[in-house]
Amino acid sequence: MKRILTFGTFDVFHYGHLKILERAANHADELIVGVSSDALNYKKKGRNPVFSEKERMDIISSLNFVDDVFLEESLELKREYILKHKADCLIMGCDWAGKFDEFNDICEVMYLPRTPDISTTEIIEKIKTL
């Protein structure tokens, strides 16, 4: 049984989020998703998410190919999250390529391609200009 762990903010859930989670699930018998807390998102991006952490966790939990969801409260706890959830593999988008290779000592690390031409930041900017 292959347990895959992935992380993301998943704010303003869109087609790109769906596709990368589907691709991760295709590698997994069990897919576990860490959703960035509101505070972590602010620390990473300098803005609050549009949807609350609870709303974003509910959205991800509703996907039939996601087996478990938890709140990611710190980037520095990735190793602990991997160990706690007994992940065989950490999957992240290719925009993170190389940044999590340090975890190869406890699990496989894979970087999957992102869906081209879509991002939460671009969607938010489009909405602002309407």
- How confident is the prediction for the chain on average, in pLDDT? 92
Going from N- to C-terminal start, the domains of the chain cover 3-129
Tell me the pLDDT tens digit for each residue of 55-102: 999 999 999 999 999 999 999 999 999 999 999 999 999 889 999 999
Q: Which architecture does CATH list for 3-129?
A: 3-Layer(aba) Sandwich (3.40)
* Whole-number pLDDT of residue 38: 97
Higher-pLDDT residue of 13, 52: 52
> What SS3 state is found at 97?
coil
Q: Which of 130, 125, 110, 114 is nearest to 50 (CA)?
A: 125
Indicate yes or no: pTM above 0.95: no
What is the distance between the alpha carbons of residues 125 and 107, in angstroms, rounded to a whole number?
Answer: 37
Per-residue pLDDT at 116 exceeds 70? no
Take residue 73 and report the two structure tokens written for it.
Answer: 């409260």
Residues 6+ apart with CB under 8 A from 99: 92
Whole-Å CA distances, 71 to 54, 74, 123: 9, 9, 24
* Whole-number pLDDT of residue 130: 73
